[in-house]
Amino acid sequence: MKNSNSQSTKASLTSSECILAVLFAFGFILGILLSPLGVEPRMPELRTLAFAGFFIIVGMLLPLIGLVSVWLRRPRLAGVLAVIDAVLLFLIAPADQALFFFTVAPPPAVAIGEYILIFVGVGYMLYGPRVYENRT
């Protein structure tokens, strides 16, 4: 007989979901640090404002939405956002070094942060599909 006083419990996060949540949080923090709120001094040299929107979406919004989706138990959305953000993160550092976004080269702190984001992107690529497949 089922106990009527038992409370329904949600399944806890898997280890892949926890790692992906940490990666999303780390990516969000780095996205803020690489914005004008952090160490980015080159905003007057930005080629077009469309790139500012790109940086906000890739660096801050996608990781934040991914983190919230992990927290709300939406693993399929989190997995898709992780892979999309990873693909876009792989493009940022080489494009910035090639002066695609700005008219001047990135300062060392920004360049280091962009290369750290590549490693975050690798983590997104590793754990995003795992989270997507594990909970359907």
The predicted structure's pLDDT at residue 3: 54
Q: Is the pTM of this model over 0.75?
A: yes
Say what the pLDDT of residue 89 is.
Answer: 93
Average pLDDT rounded to a whole number, residues 35-61:
89
pLDDT score recorded for residue 8: 45
For Cα atoms 26, 19, 40, give the angle at the middle one, nearest 5 degrees.
Answer: 10
Cα dihedral sign, 33-36-40-41 = negative
Instruction: Judge whether residue 136 has pLDDT over 60.
Output: no
Give 59's DSSP letter: I
Phi, psi (degrees; rounded to nearest 5) at 46: -65, 135
**Per-residue model confidence (pLDDT) at position 40:** 87
Helices of type H across the chain: 15-33, 49-56, 62-71, 75-97, 108-134
Quick check: 6 pLDDT over 50? no
Residue 29 pLDDT > 70, yes or no? Answer: yes
DSSP 40: -
List C-alpha distances in Å: 121 to 48, 58, 91. Answer: 25, 11, 10
pLDDT-based confidence at residue 52 (cuts at 50, 70, 90): confident
Q: What is the pLDDT of residues 83-115, one digit of tens each?
A: 999 999 999 999 999 999 999 999 999 999 999
Mapped onto helix, strand or coil, the DSSP state of residue 112 is helix
| Torsions phi, psi for 73 (to 5 deg) | 65, 45
